[in-house]
Amino acid sequence: MPISKIRWALGSLAALMLAFPAHADGQEEKRLVSPIVVTGDSGSAVLGLAYEFKRKSSRDFSNPAADGGDDWEEIDTDKLEWGYTLKGTITGDPENNPENFMEFDLFLNYVKLADLKSISDCQSITCDPWQHQFGGVYKYEADQSLDDKQTVLGLRYLSHYGFRVPGTYKTSSDLYLSVAFGEVTPIADGERQQILGDALEPFNRWDLQALYKVRVDQLLGDYAEDLELSYRYFSEVDAPEVIEQAELDRFGHAKAVLNLKNNMFIAYTDGELPLDRAADSTFKLGWNWDLAALGL
């Protein structure tokens, strides 16, 4: 990818993030750190720290009620969202990191909000509990040591399907889908360089993800809150035959997370990720610590 494209994308997103906050209707911030104990295929336990930092601003384009009126002109609203997400896992020894993949994500999305109703109110065909998002994304992906790294510039579609629990703002279950297509520009990639030589060429890639989240507190009582099941799939478009033979063109990663009371969780993962190509199966026990909620 030409450097000019990357600079244009970064410059445009940065300018939007700096300019829009003054006009934002809402802001959301997450600073989550999670001390964890991870065991991989080797059987040895590894201490680590999972992290997710997110900042999102939004501008609402819904039509409010006219002066003196009580009803809004539209139930569904349009919204513009922009921000960033940084997430990954750090361990004392990068070579023993079973989830050795870091992502920094800059995004700008147009959002079509849905009116989430209770299941009893959602029997007619006119009820649409889907929320749709479409926008541009620039990503920086790397391993913990930053030996292997790459950028991604592309488009992404996201959707959310959920039903609200009657009398609350919580949903009883949620389905999230994400489809992204972008141009990947390798900066350093030892395995691809061994096969293709020093001249690493950009390539196109699909990034698909599905996540289902369901509340389990009624089933497991006071011990758990919800269960998350997700699968992520990466596929290089028209990969060279030598890349296919080396199995560097496609990666799949499954994850199950049981969120417990008191911000604790148990997780199981299996599969591979870009730049973390060892097919590990891991168990993880951790505790979520939201710095933003604590005012830190």
Residue 70 is assigned to a structural domain of this protein: no
Confidence at residue 122, expressed as pLDDT on a 0 to 100 scale: 54
Lowest mean pLDDT, pick from 173-182, 190-199, 227-236, 261-270: 190-199
Buried-exposed string 56-95: b where 16+ CB fall within 10 A, e elsewhere: bbbbeeeeeeeeeeeeeeeeebebbbbbbbbbbbbbeeee
At residue 223, φ and ψ (nearest 5 deg) are: -90, -30
Question: pLDDT (tens digit, 9 = 90+) per residue, 170-181?
Answer: 677 889 999 999
Instruction: Give the β-pairing of 264-273 and 276-287.
Output: antiparallel
Pick from 6-20, 183-197, 198-212: least confident? 6-20
Cβ atoms of 94 and 144 closer than 8 Å: yes
Q: Write down the pTM of the prediction.
A: 0.82
The answer to whether residue 280 is domain-embedded is: yes
pLDDT in the model for residue 94: 78
What the block records as the tokens of 246 is 């080396």
pLDDT value for 11: 52
The confidence score (pLDDT) of residue 106 equals 94
What pLDDT, on the 0 to 100 scale, is given for residue 22? Answer: 45
CATH number at residue 252: 2.40.160.40
Q: Do the domain assignments include residue 68?
A: no
Token look-up 């939201």 returns: 290
24, part of any domain: yes
157 lies in some domain: yes
Instruction: Domain count for the chain, please give it.
Output: 1
Rounded mean pLDDT, 126-130: 61
Q: pLDDT class for 140, splitting at 50, 70, 90? A: very high
Question: If you average pLDDT over residues 266-288, what whole number do you get?
Answer: 88
Model confidence pLDDT, tens digit, residues 97-107:
877 789 999 99
The single residue listed with the structure tokens 């096969």 is 195
Max CA pair span of the chain? 70
239 has a pLDDT exceeding 80: yes
CB 240 within 8 Å of CB 259: no
Range 166-191 average pLDDT: 86
Q: Kindly list the distances between the CA atom of residue 15 and the CA atoms of 4, 106, 107, 108, in Å, as whole numbers in the listed order.
A: 16, 12, 12, 11
Among 95, 99, 85, CA closest to 37: 99
| In the predicted structure, residue 213 carries a pLDDT above the cut 50 | yes
**pLDDT for the residue numbered 74:** 46
Which domain covers residue 278, as residue numbers?
3-63+75-294
User: pLDDT band at residue 144, thresholds of 50, 70 and 90?
Assistant: confident
Output the average pLDDT for the chain: 81
Give domain status of residue 69, yes or no: no
Tell me the three-class secondary structure of 69-133, residue by residue: CCCCCCCCCEEEEEEEEEEEEEECCHHHCCCCCEEEEEEEEEEECCCCCCHHHCCCCCCCCEEEE
Residue 194 inside a domain? The answer is yes
In a domain, 58, yes or no: yes
pLDDT tier for residue 77 given thresholds of 50, 70 and 90: low
